Structure 1
Amino acid sequence: MSTENPFKLPQFSTVFELKEAELQRKREARNYMLKQSVADKIPVNRLVSSRRDILPHDEAPKEPDEVAKAKSLLRRIKGSCADRTTHQEYIVKQREMFMLEYSIAVQNAELDRLKKLAESEERKLNIAEQCLEQDAALFDEFLKDNDKSSIEAITNAEQEARKRSAIVDEIRQLSVQQQKLTAENNRLRSVVQEYRGYKLFLECLVPEPHRSGRQLIRQERRLAKARAREEARRKLTVQPPLSVPPDIRRRTSFMVRRKSTLRPSVTSKSPTSVSSSPRTPRASSSIDEEQLVSSSDETEEDLFFTSVDQVLEILADLEEANLRLLRHCQDGQEGIDSLKTISAETKERVEADNSVLVRHYQALKESIRVEEEKSKDLSVTSQDFEFAGFEKKGQEAMLQELHNHIGEVYRTCIQKPDASLSSLQLLNEIESRMIALLQQISELPSGEVKAALHTKERKHRLDVKERRRQEQQRHQEERLRKTLERAQAEPKRMHGRKIVARSEPPKMSKDDSKDLEALAREEEEMRVLFG
């Protein structure tokens, strides 16, 4: 217990501060109440409806905090607004209270569930930590074993590498020796081949009767050696097999069993290779035996020529025969060349004559076609004139008029026409001139061509307007003249009944007027272009 006196007089400044604080609190409470709605503005006496709310908390019965808060809230709600709420508002508030209580209960249940879940997860984490510790210990042991095995593997690999390097060096030396032996063998083979060529050349120089006899002797010798070789091979096949010690046979059978158990797939997949492997040495041995036999036959045979002079004499005879053959071949080639030149000249001459005849034939054919077309055109024109009912004088006048029109066009387009040219010739000249002008226009730049066409169209429109204006002026003058004549003429007296006025013509629509204007414009352009 504190011994200080609780009853103290406040200082002068403290009294005024308390007053200002109380005023500020009341002002804030008033502002708060002004901002609230009418339903929320509850008087203070309604809030303090029971004495139990005013009593201190120590005198109240001890209950849980949540239950006490809920009961106090219910007492306030029941005591404050019982007379001012309607039945519907009461039901709404009760529903809200139920929803709040339900949400609180659901949240409490969810909190309990989450607590249980957290406890279970914590237990799982503890178990996982224990498992991780055990795994770490096992992994450390595995790493130690792995280090030992890696050190042993490294040592074994170094030993194997030394052995392999030694074996590689030995294989390299053996391969070098093999290459030397193969080079020497190839050199000797080339020498033997060269000597065989020389021998074959000498055999070719042997006369025919001696050559056939030597071939018979050589063939008999080969047959005899082949028979002897066959007999020797037959004797070898008939001999009993050599006795093998039992330990060797047992060892080989053990190795075969081991290979069959270790690699069954290899033995099953390559029977052809196993069966073919023993054949290769037999084939190579047979080939070597044949080569040896042939070489021994060649060495055992005696040469036909005993001295070099015999060979030189035969070579000289052959050289003379070759020279004679070469001379005959040159003579034949010269004759063939002369025949080729003569045949080429005759062929060119025939082709030239043929081309001239073909051109002449085509020219005659073209002229015939042109004349036929002219005859067809003349027949058509004559039929037209006859159908039109023109007489001879009328036809001549019409043709002359057409000729004059064509001449005017020719004069304006090209130059003054010659009197000796006919109408068709003038039209051909005009057509060729138009084609040439069109080609020149196509070669010109498109911009210049468009500009020229634009200026030409503009000039044509101006000319058409000027002619139309002159035509209207002439029409106006004609109307004035007629009105002046009617004014100066003597009046006519009407006799009899008055003439009924004619009905007005149908009014022309705008489209019809446009069509008529377009037709008039086209007629004017045709008149200007073809006069």
Structure 2
Amino acid sequence: MSENLPPVVSKSVTFNKHGPESMDNSSSVTEEKKKHAKKGKASKNVPDQPANPFHMSGDVDFFLLREQERNKSLLDREQKKQLRVHEKMTYSSKVSAKHTSLRRELQLEDETQDQEERAEQLRSFHEQVAWKLAMTREKKLEPSNISSYVDQNRQMFLIQYALDMKRSEIQRLERLAAQEEAELERAEKFLEKDAALFDEFLRENDRSSVQALRTADKESKAKMEKILEIRELTTQIMNIKSEISKFEDMLQQYKVYKDFLYKLSPREWLEEQEKKRSALRQAKEVVEAFKGSLLLSSVGDKGLETKGKLSSREMQSPRRPAKLLQVMRLHQALSTTASQQQGTLPSVPSRVESKRSSSTLPVQDDLDSDDGEELELYFTDPQQLLDIFTKLEEQNLSLVQNTQEMEEALEELSFTLKNTQTRMDREVNQLKQWITTLMMSITKEEETAAELELKARVFHFGEFKGDQEDKLLESLNCKVLDVYRHCVGGQQESSLGTVQMLATIEHQLDELLENLERVPPARIEQAEKAKEKERRLRLREEKAKLQKQLQEERLLRAQARAQAERGRRLVCRSRPPALKTKERSKHELMDKDREEQLFFFT
């Protein structure tokens, strides 16, 4: 750098000697160099490789970038889920926020560019002014030329450095591109191999699927054949089962008939069959014990075993028909017992029936456990059953007649019981009503006695004395006599006193109250309604009369005012005022008498 400085300086000096035009060109060149110097300084401050804009990062794996973006989006989603409602944003708000942020960045960049342009313009203006001043005043500009020369060299160096860096970066990118192309070719080869293998796999799969379809068709045909065979077999099984069920139903019916015949068989025959059955059991037990002894004794010798078998067969052969006969007889005995138990004959006692029922059950069990052998029945002719049925029918008819007579007697007793029950209930209700009426009359009498006692206390308290008492007694006597005449009537009122008359009136009132209590309440309500109606009619008539009288009085007053003489009335010169005497109205006297009557007679 120091070796190249003198010739460059001389060149610049010789270049500056050419006049003002050359100076203008040099000034523009210096401005461009200054701009490049600024950029070179910025690059010189951070000369390392990551700050180079043409450097390609090592993260060339696009699949890794895609995974990173996917993880980033998942993290953003999880963070958004944890946000609250007011903190969340919609897609439109996000887009608007992005647009606003981009606008702000662009505005800031525009502002910075404007500021830089203004600063450059000011700087160029100041340089031009300094050049003009230097040219006019003929000042020496060597120091400024040296500084510009240094700046130019620095800018050239930085540009050369940038070019070298770009070339190296281009070479590195070309190497990376060649490596990526080689990897892509290798991946294409692997993909072609995988495609060939996949095609082979598909062909093999098609062959296996065709083979599987063929085998499936064969298996389906075989399956359909088996299904048809199974259906045929199931239909046969169902037919056999239906036949078996029919035979079982028939067998049950026959068993019922057999049990019925066993129940109808006589008791003596059943006892005989039971004895035979017990003998047969004992014989069987003896034979089984003998067989066990023979088996134990003939363990070592075969000839002895054969002899034991022959002997046992010889012993069992004569017993076989006897066993059959016993079984048949027991069968008949069971049928006779069943017939006797169902008919409920009166001649057979309950003790024999219990024995019969207890004996038939084990006999039937033993019969069922035999080797398919059936016992003989007691009945050999249908006429025997008909005779038994006729006897049972006669007995049933007699029993039905007895039951009908008992039912008639029971109906008569129930009818009489109902009649007596209703009569007793009626009497009880009447007595309860009498009790309630008596209790009510007692309470009323107690209330009247208490009122009379209170009135007597008030009467003897000292309010009425002397002449007032005599007058009051006389008025009471008159009123009691009037009431006695109206209520009781008769010619003996002159000889009776007030107390006696009151007693007779009270007795008459009690009788009337008793009669009133006996009267049905509906009739009393009708009478009360009639009295209330009469009272309302009377009040309505009285009210109409009063209104009529008032109307007549108004008319009279109006006529008097109309017929009166007009003018001033002649009066004396001095007439003394007339004395007005206060007269007690008749209404007050009537009210007082009514209060006394209410006080003493209610």
TM-score grouping bracket, smaller chain normalisation: 0.3 to 0.5
TM-score by length of 1: 0.38
TM-score by length of 2: 0.34
Q: Which has the larger radius of gyration?
A: 2
